[in-house]
Chains A and B, each alone.
Chain A
């Protein structure tokens, strides 16, 4: 049986969004049902694919992929329709399916203006983000990467509060600027490799020249082409993550966007930058990534601290969560640029974990805003009394958010910091400061909302609805479950991460820092 499963994953939401066009605008029930159905179907397929992955055929080569599909697309320039799934993308793809499902569930059928448009765009976005995760051809990747912006743009521009226009345009220009730099790098990579191919498997391991480029006339030698190309990629990914100082689009956007959008935007879209770094940064530019790792790790640490400080001083709930997201994404970036098995594995784990956490946090903050009509932390207090269920979910999410040992994010952060410690102990210690600050601002947020004597604003607010509870329950359950039993993610990601790290370290730094063989088993002598 040769079903192109990955194409199916892309096609289901796309098909559903087209199918939506024939549903009459007034049939909101049918629209919603179709949307939820399609995302659910995608989620089920993805779940089965990820679960069954290890048993399927693995393509040969330095990076092995499952469910590989390859068809000719633009043979003249060597671009092909090449899809594949591996340990790095598997869980992120699952996260993708999950957040879109949650987003679809959360859409308010009555409260959403032009429901059909919204649902259609949501489904389209899912196709695009899944495409980003599955593409193994750089041009195809770019197509999805940039194409993702189209539905996102219309969602963000159409839904949300009154400031959304500016925020959206800022986001778009920011992202497009970064993406275009990446485009130049993609072309340069294809040209320089001499293979006439955009396929990642053909471009692996640094094909570009490593002699510095000399600026004509002034004769200043600069970075090598490989390094320049890497910086092009890095621009796109660093903006998408975002890393400080490329982050200013994020708070504005998160504040203006509605919750169902935030669920998949904060939950997944911003993780794609990190994914890009792992998938392309490490494997295509081993020399450059080793040259610049200190810089990007430093930026990551800066993001951690900076985001934490901002979250500490903001008074707007959504902005606090937004900056906390910047801080946490800094951890992910730090993990990637350690170029160690631990760090990168931790980053993959943390991508999934943070997706879960931030989704829950935004839902919670959204509920609070909806119920009380304000996002100002100073006007809120004592909600625990009024909303005990929300309190419980929020507590779990807060703890997960501050990296509580025993919760899911601890797994990732521990692994990331261990990786960082192997390479740059100082960075790990600074990240530790970030952990303490995270504790501070998360508690400030949590306690500010939940504790202290109730404020007049919070009189008579209702607890969360059943639907919201049904969305939060699996999220919080996962936070605990993946904290207690994180092994599945690590096991799936492990082989691919090891391959990627091996490629990244190539022959250059293979002996830099390696931990002795780890044999921590029960009762080890």
Chain B
């Protein structure tokens, strides 16, 4: 018996406008591969400049899209959402990418890693993330995840002579592939039980199913969640995070710690809040997401207490932040989504700032990794130390910084959804986190004693300074002039696809 083939729908040419930012960036990625061949080693900085131009162009089209996507719709037969939500995520990813590109050349030069592929791989990964942000079909989600993952596998092993870097890459690769297996199995089951791969159709199918329970479907949802939880490094799927963050070159860590999480959360919100969110089965099931959120907050913060590498510390901190952002996801409310978006923006600007300090200050041939390397930074680089303190305070959630309002909004979302315990878990772990953030901050202001080695910090380049100024200002702006980003996040939530569920 032959399958009845539905009529082929040819995508209209206008649909390309919906993926214009991604296309531009992908173009940049390909062009960079070519340009690398004709650029001499001394001029690789120009590749960075070109990549920046590509990012800027993509950002321009994102901004244009923001105004164009007043009425959200899907393109390419419903597999890609052209909505402000995706564009908001795009903007975060693009800005982060740009900031990483700015600090990269100096760092790579110092570490002797300055190869042209770096920039194309960054753009490739960014493209994948942007696609993921807009993906509204399981297939596109899978493709985007793999695109960004493969690029990141290579990037984390970019320090070709360093065992640490290899180890990071191997772990990321093997565990990432392993997680992909779960993700894919979940997708397969969902597809099989609903008959669809497009989110809107899945949502409709679930609505029709009503209260009936389908164990295989539920298993599929669980496995899909496992796959995505791996990407956002939520506990208990977080174990790769500290190792990979520590081993990868710092600029790469900077990049992936922020952007991967942002993109994966975009999908998580699309799938779990807006596709599955309203269904009765999900309502009973979401306790697992609760558990993951709480576990992430606890594990991330508690494990960070006893670290001695700044990169690892920020890795654990990232796990904890994932837990906080998950609060915004599980409460299934517009406020929760907005809070998550705000959190992602705040997290991006703060975390890039923090990692940027480590990247910028890294010395020749070595990463500024251990706590000791921060000791006494304030005496020689007062402004850098002040900036780092600001970022750490923001991560710790002190007002008036971005981190405070980020946490404030997710807690508010939890309380408004009558989930006070979730907020209490959040604050308890936040209080714990103060300890390790402040310990690092304190270290920078401690004068090294005579017998302690003094780390040889690099000079801050113009680009590095600019990044710090931008991220520092961003941290404060998000902490004081809240309405600015809040309004945008609200608009982003307003236009999210698949619509109508919440």
Contact = CB atoms under 8 A, between A and B. Distances in A.
On whether A and B touch (CB less than 8 Å), the answer reads: yes
Contact of B399 (A143, A169, A184): A143
B442 interface: yes
Given A76-B490, A149-B398, A165-B446, A180 B427 contact: yes
Interface in B45-103: none
Nearest to B379: A114
Interface string A135-173: 000010011001101100110011000000100110011
Contacts of B389: 154
Choose among B389, B399, B427, B445 the residue with the greatest number of A CB atoms under 10 Å from its CB: B399
B343 interface: no
Interface string A321-349: 00000000000000000000000000000
A190 B412 CA distance: 9
A74 B482 contact: yes
Contact of A169 (B420, B423, B442): B442
Interface string A182-195: 01100110110000
Contacts, number: 84
Contacts of A188: 415, 420
Given A147-B399, A147-B400, A154 B412 contact: no
Interface residues of A, number: 33
Question: Chain A interface secondary structure, helix, strand, loop or mixed?
Answer: helix
A190 B413 CA distance: 12
Nearest to B417: A191
Given A154-B389, A157-B442, A187 B415 contact: yes
Interface in B456-502: 482-483, 486-487, 490
Report whether over half of chain B's contact residues are helix, strand or loop; otherwise say mixed: helix
A139 B412 CA distance: 12
B160 interface: no
Contact of B442 (A77, A149, A165, A173): A165
Given A74-B486, A147-B398, A157-B441, 13 more contacts: A74-B482, A76-B490, A143-B400, A147-B399, A168-B438, A169-B439, A173-B432, A176-B430, A176-B434, A180-B397, A184-B415, A188-B420, A190-B412
A150 B393 contact: yes
Contacts of B399: 142-143, 146-147
13 contacts: A74-B483, A76-B483, A76-B487, A77-B412, A79-B482, A143-B404, A150-B393, A158-B445, A169-B442, A177-B428, A183-B411, A183-B427, A187-B412
Interface of A: 73-77, 79, 117, 139, 142-143, 146-147, 149-150, 153-154, 157-158, 165, 168-169, 172-173, 176-177, 180-181, 183-184, 187-188, 190-191
A124 to B, nearest CB: 11
Nearest to A216: B421
Interface string B355-389: 00000000000000000000000000010000001
A76 B486 contact: yes
B430 A187 contact: no
B424 interface: yes
Contacts of B404: 143, 146
B398 A187 contact: no
B400 A172 contact: no
Contacts of A73: 482-483
A79 B481 CA distance: 12
A191 B412 contact: yes
A154 B432 CA distance: 19
Contacts of A180: 397, 427, 430-431
Contacts of A142: 399
Q: Which residue, of B389, B442, B445, has the highest number of chain A Cβ atoms within 10 A?
A: B442
B415 A157 contact: no
B435 interface: yes
B434 A172 contact: yes
Given A77-B412, A146-B404, A147-B400, A187 B423 contact: yes
B427 A184 contact: yes
Given A74-B482, A177-B431, A183 B420 contact: no
B169 to A, nearest CB: 36
A74 B399 CA distance: 15
Contact of A173 (B411, B416, B434, B446): B434
Given A147-B399, A184-B415, A153 B430 contact: no
Nearest to B396: A176
A387 to B, nearest CB: 33
Interface in B401-431: 404, 408, 411-412, 415-416, 420, 423-424, 427-428, 430-431
Contacts of B434: 172-173, 176
Contacts of B427: 177, 180-181, 183-184
Nearest to A225: B420
Contacts of B398: 146-147, 149-150, 176
* Chain A CB within 10 Å, residue with most, of B404, B424, B431, B486: B431
Nearest to A75: B483
Contacts of A184: 411, 415, 420, 423-424, 427
- The 5 lowest CB-CB distance pairs between A and B, nearest first, are A180-B427, A177-B431, A143-B399, A147-B399, A187-B412
B483 to A, nearest CB: 5
Contacts of B408: 139, 183, 187
B446 A176 contact: no
A520 to B, nearest CB: 47
A235 B402 CA distance: 25
Contacts of B382: 117
Contacts of A172: 434, 438
A169 B404 CA distance: 19
Given A180-B430, A184-B424, A187-B412, A153 B483 contact: no
Contacts of A153: 438, 441
Nearest to A180: B427
Contacts of B430: 176, 180
B157 to A, nearest CB: 37
B393, B415, B435, B439 interface centre (most CB from chain A within 10 Å): B415
Contacts of B445: 154, 157-158
A176 B490 contact: no
B419 to A, nearest CB: 11
